[in-house]
Amino acid sequence: MATLFPQGYADGPAFCNRTSQRAELITLIKNSRHGWIQGRRRIGKSSLLRQTILDIEKHHSKSIYAVHTELLSAYDRNVAVRLILQAVAEVTERVLAYSEKALKNILGTFSALKPELVITAAGPKLKLSIDKEQNSVKDALLALDQVATEKKVNIALFFDEFQQLGEIDHGVSVEAEIRGALQLTKSTSFIFSGSIRHLLEQQFADDSRPLYKQCQRIDIRRITRKDYIKHLTKVAKLHWGVIIEKTIIEEIVQQTDRHPYYVNALCGLLWLRDGPPSKEEVISTWHKDIVSSDYSAYQRTLSKLSTNQNIVLSNLALSPTNQPLSSDFAQKCGISTSSIKQSVEKLISHDHIYRDGDGCLRLFDPAVAAYLRVSLQ
């Protein structure tokens, strides 16, 4: 059950849709091109990477080798380099099918990285170490690419929480090494993702950074209403063996505003029941068990906003609109349209609000929206 609505990565039966982005990633990988995944916090970027790895294992296991590396724990340059070298070693072992002989044969390819072959109970392991201050990452990536090209396979390196490199001393030099490799590799695709949107944007859209214009941007937004209804109907049937009423699913989708983190948090509780919940049970679980469990966090978030931003946010919680500069909305807010404009821009750039597919401005966090509606009404 827990696996149907994970709080961590979703993949397999827990994963809903994103078919076009999964296909786009596979196309990039097959063509050794590069991408960066742009999307807000907890929208499902890492899950998309995990699911794409499952897709690769299922449909391209002999031709593509992918590895997902989280860089969040890279508190300094050395740790970042070590994590990347580990990923390179792991994928090399897989490409060479854990053959001791084949791994021994390629040690020369990695000669700049003090390569060692360690025999463990789980099979032969390739160990790479930082031999010198510079170029370890570039050397490792180029050596891996050489192995892949010789074997006629594609490599996909998924670097997640990549904004971390912009946060640590000399992290940008690692970005520069990756760029150096990325421009020379023939069989490797680099896919970057991260959870702090504006930092990641600087890494790929700022012309002073090494990776500027090197990667195709892949946007991920909320899963559509239609896709979520289909997915939840399917997992309800899987779990309870019955077709759940559409209005109940619609209520879940409505309350959580299709935010995948909250859909999973709410459904994780609802699916503990012996049978499908009623509409009233959906609403009460949402308010009692999800929204009210985190009041202090919402208050902390709101206390960091200016008065005008708070006014705009509260009014958008009560009535989402696609015309925040209309006289009607300005009247509700009781502040000038220029102040509204400024606040909207700040709220968007800090991910407090977003423009939905229908053009409406809504709060990014449906629990904060619910909290504001309850406290204002």
Cα angle at 371 between 367 and 376, to 5 degrees? 150
Distance CA 256, CA 304 (A): 24
Closer residue to ligand ADP in complex, CB, 103/267: 267
Contact call for residue 314 and Mg ion (CB under 5 A): no
Distance CA 12, CA 249 (A): 21
Closer residue to ligand ADP in complex, CB, 146/301: 301
Instruction: Please select the residue that binds ligand ADP; options are 9, 212, 240, 354, rule is CB under 6 A.
Output: 9
Residue 89 interface partner, choices Mg ion, ligand ADP, none, CB cut-off 5-8 Å depending on type: none
Residue 260 interface partner, choices Mg ion, ligand ADP, none, CB cut-off 5-8 Å depending on type: ligand ADP
Distance of CA 161 to the CA centre of its chain: 8
Interface segment toward ligand ADP; rule CB under 6 A; list 38-46, 78-86, 208-216, 276-284: 38-46
- Least gap, CB of 27 to ligand ADP (angstroms): 19
Residue 16 interface partner, choices Mg ion, ligand ADP, none, CB cut-off 5-8 Å depending on type: ligand ADP
φ, ψ dihedrals at 302, nearest 5°: -70, -30
Nearest to 135, CA basis, from 176, 190, 104: 176
Distance CA 90, CA 84 (A): 10
Q: Output the six-digit token pair for 106.
A: 């390629």
Contact call for residue 214 and Mg ion (CB under 5 A): no
Distance of CA 76 to the CA centre of its chain: 22
Contacts of 51 (CB under 8 A, 6+ apart): 10, 11, 12, 15, 18, 22
Distance CA 141, CA 89 (A): 10
Instruction: Please select the residue that binds ligand ADP; options are 2, 3, 7, 134, rule is CB under 6 A.
Output: 7
Chain residues 24-83 in contact with Mg ion, contact rule CB under 5 A: 46
Residue 6 interface partner, choices ligand ADP, Mg ion, none, CB cut-off 5-8 Å depending on type: ligand ADP
- Least gap, CB of 260 to ligand ADP (angstroms): 3
Q: Output the six-digit token pair for 67.
A: 């590895």
Distance CA 242, CA 22 (A): 30
Contact call for residue 45 and ligand ADP (CB under 6 A): yes
Contact call for residue 44 and ligand ADP (CB under 6 A): yes
- Least gap, CB of 329 to Mg ion (angstroms): 34
Chain residues 218-237 in contact with ligand ADP, contact rule CB under 6 A: 223
Contact call for residue 189 and Mg ion (CB under 5 A): no
Residue with tokens 């890279």: 74
Distance CA 83, CA 76 (A): 11
- Least gap, CB of 70 to Mg ion (angstroms): 8
Contact call for residue 15 and ligand ADP (CB under 6 A): yes
The tally of CA atoms less than 13 A away on the side-chain side of residue 349 is 10
8 Å CB contact between 53 and 68 = yes
Contact call for residue 10 and ligand ADP (CB under 6 A): yes
Residue 4 interface partner, choices Mg ion, ligand ADP, none, CB cut-off 5-8 Å depending on type: none
Contact call for residue 14 and ligand ADP (CB under 6 A): yes
Residue 115 interface partner, choices ligand ADP, Mg ion, none, CB cut-off 5-8 Å depending on type: none
8 Å CB contact between 75 and 101 = no
Interface mask toward ligand ADP for 258-277; x: CB under 6 A: --xx--x-------------
Closer residue to ligand ADP in complex, CB, 35/39: 39
Q: Please state whether 123 falls in left (phi above 0), alpha (psi between -120 and 50) or beta.
A: left
Contact call for residue 163 and Mg ion (CB under 5 A): no
Chain residues binding ligand ADP by CB under 6 A are 6-7, 9-10, 14-16, 18, 39, 41-47, 195, 223, 260-261, 264
